[in-house]
Structure 1
């Protein structure tokens, strides 16, 4: 039998672990949504990595298109990627699901974060936000490099 004082510590430790890790598991998207989001992200990043910025805008969500005109998207993304340089390596760090996003309407959002290395920006993070668009297709609604 475990002494009472250690049982209390064990219960407190388990409670703390649940408080820390349970929200992480509840934020994970369902398998089908995650696969659809991953496909949208892959198609988008292939175009961005190939300097086809106009095409990346064209396949993006209506939310992104409504906030950023195509030419501004092409110009800004071109400048950012010119500073970072060509992609060296990209590894998915996390994928989280939410029904809200900053400065955006209620909906379904999946945020995919990558640990990324570019030729001139070795230690970067890419954050790609995907949303369920008005036509029921998952599309990229945001792309950021930190």
Structure 2
């Protein structure tokens, strides 16, 4: 439980600590995030953990991830609409090694909660973008 809270808080704090911030078109790097979100949307929470990046897997145990998504995400219901609203490129995030990061925000209407904001954080690893953080407001 402590690990997931630390991971979620870390990604919330990235918005405040970002030193090299650039907001541009959401289209770039969106495919890995939306593919991963489709796995979450389908309720395959264990698969979403398996498809996440190494940092995520090392800091959030699979069983904890699955139980938290069942607790938080499942009650929201099916996605009615999802639209990218921002994209931020970062090279430094506190408590993470320097690298290439992208934070994507989506305005999402769920069956049981409209006007939600989903934040997906990706890290470039071996020339691939991998999800290392997910947060719903």
- TM-score, normalised to structure 1, is 0.73
Determine whether 1:64 maps to 2:56. yes
Deviation at 1:128, TM superposition (A): 0.3
Contact 1:118 1:124 in 2 (8 A): yes
Corresponding residue pairs, total: 117
Look at both structures and tell me which one has the larger radius of gyration over its CA atoms: 1
Aligned residue number for residue 27 of structure 1: 22
- TM-score, normalised to structure 2, is 0.77
Deviation at 1:79, TM superposition (A): 1.2
Q: Structure 1: 5+ residue runs without aligned partners?
A: 1-25
Deviation at 1:100, TM superposition (A): 1.7
Contact 1:29 1:110 in 2 (8 A): no
RMSD: 2.0
Distance in 1, Cα, partners of 2:69 & 2:94: 21
Q: Structure 2: 5+ residue runs without aligned partners?
A: 1-20
Aligned residue number for residue 7 of structure 1: none
Distance in 2, Cα, partners of 1:79 & 1:86: 15
